[in-house]
């Protein structure tokens, strides 16, 4: 099942993608796609619906972030062996954790807006994990049972803000529009192995990132288990699990960063495609 949120005027409504790729309205069944409707029982009720009986949304609706009102937006850094190699950095002993402000979240195809003073904004295609049931002190063997589903995330990062403004990575990760989420949330039953997914990112039609979740340092299950020892993961919380090689910062002989007019296209096998145009803040 592919759950989504779409915009009609100033409203955001819940929906799902049917087998023909059309958007169906879920407003009669749930008020929104948030943590409140992501537990196994609620998802089973939605899965039992016949999509053909749901109202068809005409045209190509504008997509909002695929999950609404997440309490936490967590990021895992340096979590691909081949990405660590391109950056010349040692593999971490434990998952590197940073926060992205929830205010950075946007729809999958919304513009990415470079903040004032940005000279080093970068792309990062990442597997997103959305929590469905609360996780606290969860063992690795049970961790995936707490997942509602998966999505594509662009962990856009301003590298100078991240590394030169003194403090934690959060500064360079949390700018407005730096967290495109979607296009839809694919429920975990459709992703039998989150460690067997291909990821790609193109910038202006040129392939920049190609990777596989099999090269993760820490698996999705290990990440959830680790984080749940530190804090309760609540329904609707979002985790960006790291990026494969090919980020702009790692390009030799000199880094290449985003500029106004650039177009990013990100795809994860079975999870859909994002496309964002870059523009400068006014």
What span, in angstroms and rounded, lies between the C-alpha atoms of 36 and 26? 14
**What is the pTM (predicted TM-score) of this model?**
0.96
Banded pLDDT at 168 (limits 50, 70, 90):
confident
| Helix and strand totals (H; E) in the chain | 5, 19
Contact between residue 279 and residue 264 where contact means Cβ atoms under 8 Å apart:
no
- Confidence check: pLDDT of 132 > 80: yes
To the question of domain 73-280 being in CATH 3.90.850.10, the answer is yes
pLDDT band (50, 70, 90) for residue 205? very high
pLDDT tens, residue by residue, 236-250: 999 999 999 999 999
DSSP H or E segment with residue 62: strand 62-63
Of 210, 223, 263, 230, nearest to 128 by C-alpha is 223
User: What is the percentage of the chain residues whose pLDDT exceeds 90?
Assistant: 89
Outline where DSSP puts E strands in the chain: 2-8, 11-17, 23-25, 62-63, 73-77, 96-99, 105-107, 112-114, 121-122, 125-131, 147-154, 157-158, 179-181, 185-187, 198-203, 206-212, 238-240, 263-268, 272-280
Model pLDDT, residue 163: 81
Q: How many residues does the chain have?
A: 282
């Amino acid at each position: 099942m592919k759950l989504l949120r779409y915009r009609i005027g100033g409203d955001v409504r819940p929906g799902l993608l049917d087998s023909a790729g059309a958007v169906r309205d879920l407003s009669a069944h749930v008020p929104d796609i948030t943590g409140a409707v992501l537990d196994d029982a609620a998802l089973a009720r939605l899965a039992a619906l016949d999509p053909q009986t749901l109202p068809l949304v005409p045209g190509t609706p504008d997509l909002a972030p695929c999950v609404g009102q997440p309490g936490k937006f967590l990021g895992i850094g340096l979590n691909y062996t081949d990405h660590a190699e391109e950056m010349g950095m040692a593999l971490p002993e434990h998952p590197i954790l940073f926060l992205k402000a929830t205010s950075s979240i946007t729809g999958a195809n919304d513009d990415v807006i470079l903040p004032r003073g940005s000279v080093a904004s970068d792309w990062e295609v990442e597997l997103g994990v959305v929590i469905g049931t609360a996780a606290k002190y969860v063992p690795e063997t049970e961790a995936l049972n707490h997942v509602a589903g998966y999505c594509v995330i662009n962990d856009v990062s301003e590298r100078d803000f991240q590394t030169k403004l003194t403090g934690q990575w959060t500064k360079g990760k949390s700018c407005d529009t730096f967290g495109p989420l979607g296009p839809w949330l694919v429920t975990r039953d459709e992703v039998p192995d989150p460690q067997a997914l291909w990821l790609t990112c193109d910038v202006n039609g040129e392939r920049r990132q190609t990777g596989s979740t099999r090269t993760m340092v820490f698996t999705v299950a290990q990440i959830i288990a680790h984080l749940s020892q530190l804090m309760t993961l609540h329904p609707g919380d979002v985790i960006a699990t790291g990026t494969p090689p090919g980020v702009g910062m790692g390009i030799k002989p000199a880094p290449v960063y985003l500029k106004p007019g650039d177009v990013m296209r990100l795809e994860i096998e079975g999870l859909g495609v994002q496309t964002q145009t870059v523009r400068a803040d006014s």
